[in-house]
Structure 1
Amino acid sequence: MEQGKRYSKEVKERAVRLVLEHQEEYSSQWSAISSIAPKIGCTCETLRRWVRQTERDQGSREGRTTSEKQRIKDLERENRELKRANEILRKASAFFAQAELDRIPR
């Protein structure tokens, strides 16, 4: 599966705006998405996800906003780094404690 940012922020915003502005002209939001997605050059599912996320960010749909998702991602990264640092400190502490026990008393 292809990773990375294939579509610019401007393209995403334009596509979502088109769906939201023209959905009244269609029988459903999915119909609008199905019509607009090929014109933008993305899949219907991709455009649907963009629309849903925009609706969450605007507060018109339940779920995590983009800023909340980013905050969680940052906290998870920080948590992993702290766990890694704790493991290093734990091993270093055990190493030095063993070295102290192995010292010959003078």
Structure 2
Amino acid sequence: MGSTRRRFTDEYKANAVALVLDEGKTIAETARNIDMHEMTLGKWVKKAREARDEQTPPDAPLTESERAELQRLRQENKDVKAENAHLQMQVSFAKKVATWFAKDQQ
């Protein structure tokens, strides 16, 4: 015998999404707590995020969490660029050494 499909009110959906978006809880944790499937809640959260993004103008000031993420990403980018420059220097040195050894063997 098949199972019946659960129906949720708009208010219930909004409250569940608010737990994730406003209180910072994970989708998995929230879904377990309210006894529902993660995929269902995940779809609701995705839809709510897209709706929020559409309402926010592109030139709106950043929130504190966005500002912190931007700062973290900038530092990460700086670290990656420094590591890349170091690796390029090592490759350049290895090429010079290989050229020197090749000339020495002739």
TM (normalized to structure 1)?
Answer: 0.42
TM (normalized to structure 2)?
Answer: 0.42
